[in-house]
Structure 1
Amino acid sequence: MRFLATLLLWLITTAALVLAVPVVWAQSTLVSEDGYASLAASAAGDSRLQDAMASELTTQVIALGEDNGYELNPELVRTVADSYTRNTGFPGQFAQANRIAHRWMFTGAVPSGNSTDQWLIDVAPMLSDPSFAATLGTLDLQVPSTLTVPLTVDAEELQPGKLRWLATWGPWASTGIAVLTGVFALLTLAAARSRGKVITALGVSALLAGAAGWAAIEVGHRFVDGALNRTTGDIRTVAEVMVSHAEDSLHQWLNYTLLAGGGLVVLGVVAAVLGGVLRSSSDG
């Protein structure tokens, strides 16, 4: 009976760990506004995103000039945009723009000027950067307080606050599953006759969780591609880079899980061997 109880507890622990790693990662990286902003700032260091945003900002500046009766030199504007997206202030401003987009989806906060169901990003703060302001200032061309660019096409399922429930319950769910995983791991240790063997088994649990996460990412690629198809042009490139950095972040978590699992397996084997030696010595 003790063996069966230990086996059942180990299975529950393994299942909980497989779920806990992606849930806690998603909460800290995607659902959390600070985590998402940090992801955006990290992605802003990618040259592909910098080029795409420079192209989009160039388009917006030229359009802004045309609306006010100015014909701007596209090459000059693009040079300014390239310089801006590669300066040290860009990651922070890109992260702030993504905070606003995050609030639209997770809290329902709608930026002024958004009268559609589209998910938008406000590029006005970027165009207000001194490098742009100096160029536009010679034309007496003022950047509006809000200048939004669609992140997605119009879609009925994309509504402000669509993911509010995740923002509300995500912290509770991630904390709960992490605590449950730890509790069941301790119960498994308590129920087992051999501590060394159960530590090895818990290491295997972590290895399974890491491997399952890698497999799930590969399977999920087609769903991600479907979501990316809602974007076009330069914004699609921006979205692709953001997704790529999110995958890299999750891969890193899964790699740490695999490393921890490998360490526990080694520790468990060593503990089991030492335990056997000590028992043999005491019997002798």
Structure 2
Amino acid sequence: MRFLAALLMWLVTTVALAAAVPANWVQARIVDEDGYASLAASAARDHRLQDAMAAELTNQVVALAGDKGYTLNPQLTRQVADSYTRNSGFPGQFAQANRIAHRWMFTGAVQSSNSTDQWLIDVAPMLSDPSFRANLGNLDLQVPDTLTVPITVDSPELRPGKLRPLATWGPWAAIGTAALTAVFALLTLAAARSRGKAMSALGVSALLVGAAGWAGIEVGSRYVDAALNRTTGDIRTVAEVMVATGEASLHQWLNITLLTGGGLVLLGVVAAALGGARRRATADPSSATSVRLR
């Protein structure tokens, strides 16, 4: 009966851990605005994203200059944009520009009065950056407070605040799954006859979850590709790099899960071995005292 109880607790722990790892990653890196901005800053260090954003910024500044009556050389402007996206301040600017896109999807903040069925990114902070404007000479280009570029094509499935429920319940799901994992892991240890074997079993749970997570990412890549087909122009490259950066971040979490699982298995084996040696020593008859008959 005790074995069955420990087995049931172990199964529940494994399921809870399988939910806790992705739930906490999504909360930390996608739902949380600061976490998403940090992810964007990491992606902005990739040369492919820098090249794509340089091309998009070139298009935007040439169009903005044209509206003001100036004719800019696209090649020279592209050199300025390349220099900007390669400097150390670009990741922070790119992260800031992505915050408005995050707010649009997770809070419903309207980005543009002309388009509510597109996910947009605000490039105004980048065009307003002193390092960018300094290379444009004395052109009187007044960058608006907000200058949005569409990330996706128009789609009725995309609307402001579509992911608001995730922003509302995501933190609770992350905390709840983590708490359930901890509680049922302790119950597994309490129900098991051998703490060492129970610890090894919990390590196996972590190994299973980590391996399943890697496999799940591979299977889910086809759906990610379908979602990327909604993106437009150079922004598609930006989206691809963002997705790749997100996958790398999730891989790190899964690797930590695998390493933790391997460590628990080793600790459990050592604990089980020491426990077995202690029980054998207790079972041996004492030979410390002898009786002499004279």
> TM exceeds 0.5?
yes
1:258 aligned partner, one-letter code: L
1:73 Cα offset (Å): 0.7
Q: CA-to-partner distance for each residue in 1:40-87, whole Å, 9 max, x for gaps?
A: 011111111101000100011111112222210111111110111111
Q: CA-to-partner distance for each residue in 1:158-203, whole Å, 9 max, x for gaps?
A: 0000000000000001100000010000000000000000000000
CA contact (8 A) 2:110 2:116 kept: no
Which residue does the alignment assign to 2:239?
239
Residue 75 (structure 2) pairs with residue 75 (structure 1): yes
Residue 235 (structure 2) pairs with residue 201 (structure 1): no
Cα distance in 2, alignment partners of residues 236 and 106 from structure 1: 21
1:49 aligned partner, one-letter code: L
Q: 1:243-258 residue pairs with structure 2 within 5 A?
A: 243-258=243-258
Q: 1:180-219 residue pairs with structure 2 within 5 A?
A: 180-219=180-219
SS in 2 for 1:105: helix
2:221 aligned partner, one-letter code: H
1:135 Cα offset (Å): 3.9
SS in 2 for 1:57: helix
Cα distance in 1, alignment partners of residues 13 and 115 from structure 2: 47
Cα distance in 2, alignment partners of residues 259 and 125 from structure 1: 41
Residue 170 (structure 2) pairs with residue 170 (structure 1): yes
1:55 aligned partner, one-letter code: A
67-76 vs 13-22, greater mean Cα deviation:
67-76
1:115 Cα offset (Å): 3.4
1:138 Cα offset (Å): 1.5
Gaps of 5+ in 1: none
Cα distance in 2, alignment partners of residues 131 and 252 from structure 1: 34
1:198 aligned partner, one-letter code: A
CA contact (8 A) 1:189 1:195 kept: yes
Which residue does the alignment assign to 1:58?
58
Cα distance in 1, alignment partners of residues 12 and 214 from structure 2: 20
SS in 2 for 1:214: helix
CA contact (8 A) 1:113 1:146 kept: no
CA contact (8 A) 1:80 1:131 kept: no
Cα distance in 1, alignment partners of residues 101 and 27 from structure 2: 17
Which residue does the alignment assign to 2:151?
151
Which residue does the alignment assign to 1:110?
110
1:113 Cα offset (Å): 4.9
2:272 aligned partner, one-letter code: A
Which residue does the alignment assign to 1:89?
89
Which residue does the alignment assign to 2:272?
272
Q: CA-to-partner distance for each residue in 1:239-268, whole Å, 9 max, x for gaps?
A: 000000000000000000000000000000
Q: How many residues align?
A: 284
Cα distance in 2, alignment partners of residues 133 and 249 from structure 1: 33
Cα distance in 2, alignment partners of residues 243 and 48 from structure 1: 13
Cα distance in 1, alignment partners of residues 46 and 257 from structure 2: 26
SS in 2 for 1:116: coil
Distance 1:47 1:137, change over 3 A: same
Cα distance in 2, alignment partners of residues 135 and 69 from structure 1: 18
1:81 aligned partner, one-letter code: A
CA contact (8 A) 2:116 2:159 kept: no
Work out which of the two has the higher radius of gyration on C-alpha atoms and give 1 or 2. Answer: 2
1:67 aligned partner, one-letter code: D
The list of structure 1 runs, each at least 4 consecutive aligned residues, that deviate by more than 6 angstroms after superposition, is: none
Cα distance in 2, alignment partners of residues 267 and 134 from structure 1: 59
* TM score, norm. by length of structure 1: 0.98
1:116 Cα offset (Å): 3.0
Which residue does the alignment assign to 2:289?
none
- Identity, % of aligned positions: 77
1:114 Cα offset (Å): 5.0
Which residue does the alignment assign to 1:49?
49
Gaps of 5+ in 2: 285-294
Q: CA-to-partner distance for each residue in 1:110-157, whole Å, 9 max, x for gaps?
A: 135553311111101100111332244512222122211001000001
CA contact (8 A) 1:114 1:120 kept: no
